[in-house]
Chain A
């Protein structure tokens, strides 16, 4: 559909410049202000460039100081533990569930599919009070398992549909040949299906990682000082007198660093994951 018209070129150019400004501005504000000194920040010239870049701001944001009482180090570790565990378990169980949904045509599997479909979009507000009760009663409140459980019940249905979408498109010949040779479904899945599905697992893992890392509502209600996640710590820096803006921006950068690096270096998997999630089947 390429076109050579001049008016079109002008339109595209204008749109391009506008988009570039609108999408780079927030990143520019975050980067430049995270490198400023406190006196520079109090002048409130947010668009100006830092005179001398203050790279030690990141160390302060990570480990805290008398000026910055919400060190991001511990929350980053907490979020890493929770997110990595949820990602691995959800991808594993989601692969199994997705394989079932993609290979069974029974009424039962149709019912499961509908239940999974609704579960994907379950508003957390509709389950949070019982979840709080469960974690408090079972003594999980002060360990990471409470949050891990809460994220698993939402992300296993998601991983199942994403993996299932992929398995639907896998040709059956290999599996049928293995079945003729007497291999069981379980053997086929672990020896044949998993190895050829590793790129799909990577897409799903990146998508779930990003989603869980960025999730705020559940971690706000379920996390305790011991299990505080990175988003909750970040939210505490907002509007509080104990965190100067330059350090708040440095903390923002630390919060987005991991998923943003995933996006920049593994963008292909990212896009594939989003598309699989949106266009199930």
Chain B
């Protein structure tokens, strides 16, 4: 009896110690993170308009303020361009390239290509943005020098042209994320079931294109889903490239929610309006990330 009691108390002591060591640190940091998130939501409904904090509740005043600004809607449009053009071309290019590497007829090709296209993941957008804004210079920039060298007068003024500037910025993102996307696709291509199915189809005489479209793509759905979510989130949060290359210009042509947020909150000192933009970005991220998190949850605890 007594020894059972001691044992029970001992076990309780052990589980308290386990909680303190394994769970508590993570819990504390999550608490700070979600604390700041809810604090920010409150700020977005307060009336903080100068350097001094003001927590008077004003409801959705600052959201209405944002919705009445053309700049906000320009941002939303630009963010949508990023979401679509930053994700779809990257995934198509990544799938084609990963498949080409699978078929690779040259030895050593794969490790070469991998190093070649993956090194940008080690670089910051601040640096890539700096280099690309050089290459994009309309006069004597690197690209226009190359095009001029071919004897063509280049029609492009890249990020200086308000109509197309955002697309040129997105191109930098695609360049930077292609290698990352390829290795994720590759890892879902390399399951033994899929390899066997491809072998069988090859024996049956199916063409390479047909194998790609009707065997490979349907079978790497989950890899593609993961990649889509990751790229969507990265394009939604895009800040660095825009800030470095154009700072939202010319005018507000390339402005996105994240750059608007920092200008509103820190340059214009409208903390509440800035917080509201933060909440809007969070809600969009939340919608993207929930299906992915549920998928991960099922996989994790299965």
Interface stretch of the complex, out of B66-74, B82-90, B150-158, B281-289: B281-289
- Quick check: is B17 within 8 A (CB to CB) of the other chain? yes
Contact of A23 among B39, B53, B116, B139 (CB under 8 A): B116
Task: Check A133/B29 contact, CB under 8 A, given A125-B261, A238-B133.
Answer: no
Q: Is the CB–CB distance between B26 and A154 below 8 Å?
A: no
B258 CB contact (under 8 Å) in A20, A127, A217, A235: A217
A146 within 8 Å of B (CB atoms):
no
Mark B240-259 against chain A: 1 for CB-CB distance below 8 A, else 0: 10011000000000000110
Q: Return chain A residues, CB-CB under 8 Å to B277.
A: 125
A153 near B33 with CB under 8 A, answer yes
Q: Which of A19, A126, A263, A271 contacts B281 (CB 8 A)?
A: A126
A11-B100, A29-B135 are known contacts. Are A234 and B126 too (CB-CB below 8 A)? yes
Interface 1/0 per residue, A256-269 and B, CB below 8 Å:
10011011100100
Is A168 touching B300 in the complex (CB atoms < 8 A)?
yes
Cβ–Cβ contact B131 & A252, under 8 A: yes
SS class of chain A's interface: helix, strand, loop or mixed? helix
Stretch from B57-65, B141-149, B159-167 that touches the partner: B141-149
**Residue B183 is within 8 A (CB to CB) of chain A in the complex:** yes
Binary contact track B116-132/A, C-beta < 8 Å → 1, others 0: 11111111111111111
- In contact, A255 and B29 (Cβ under 8 angstroms): no
**Once the chains are docked, how many angstroms separate the CA of A132 from the CA of B282?**
18
A133→B53 contact, CB < 8 A: yes
- Within 8 Å of chain B (Cβ to Cβ): is A35? no
Tell whether B175 is near chain A: CB-to-CB under 8 Å: yes
Contacts of A278 in B (CB 8 A): 184, 226-227, 230
CB pair B121 A274 closer than 8 Å: yes
Closest CB in chain B relative to A180 CB, distance in Å: 15
> B17 to A259, Cβ gap below 8 A?
no
Give the residue of A93, A129, A130, A260 whose beta carbon is less than 8 angstroms from that of B25. A93
Among residues of B, the one whose C-beta sits closest to the C-beta of A161 is B296
Distance A278 CA – B104 CA, assembled complex (angstroms): 25
The distance in angstroms between the C-alpha atoms of A154 and B277, with both chains bound, is 20
Report A-chain residues with C-beta under 8 Å of the C-beta of B258.
Answer: 123, 125, 217
* Size of interface on B: residues with Cβ below 8 Å to A: 105
Q: A152-B29, A160-B26, A275-B187 are in contact. Are A185 and B14 (CB under 8 A)?
A: yes
Beta-carbon contact of A279 and B17 below 8 Å? no
C-alpha gap A173/B14 in the complex (Å): 21
Central interface residue in B125, B126, B129, B292, by most chain A CB within 10 Å? B126
Given A1-B198, A186-B18, A245-B257 contact (CB < 8 Å): no
Q: Do A154 and B33 have beta carbons less than 8 Å apart?
A: yes
- Given A1-B198, A16-B109, A127-B33: A214 and B14 within 8 A (CB)? no
Contact with A along B95-129 (1 / 0, CB 8 A): 00100101111100100011111111111111111
Q: Are A1 and B125 in contact (CB under 8 A)?
A: no
Mask for B1-41, Cβ within 8 A of A = 1, else 0? 00000000000001001100111011101101111110110
With A8-B105, A259-B122 known, 18 other A-B pairs at CB within 8 A are: A24-B116, A26-B128, A27-B119, A29-B134, A47-B142, A47-B146, A100-B26, A117-B289, A125-B237, A125-B282, A128-B265, A129-B265, A129-B275, A130-B40, A220-B262, A221-B262, A245-B134, A248-B130
Chain A interface (Cβ within 8 Å of chain B)? 1-5, 8-9, 11-12, 15-16, 19-20, 22-27, 29-30, 33, 44-47, 93-94, 96-97, 99-101, 105, 110, 112-119, 121-131, 133-134, 149, 152-154, 156-157, 160, 164, 168, 184-186, 189, 210, 213-217, 220-221, 231, 234-235, 237-238, 245, 248-249, 252, 255-256, 259-260, 262-264, 267, 270-271, 274-275, 278-281
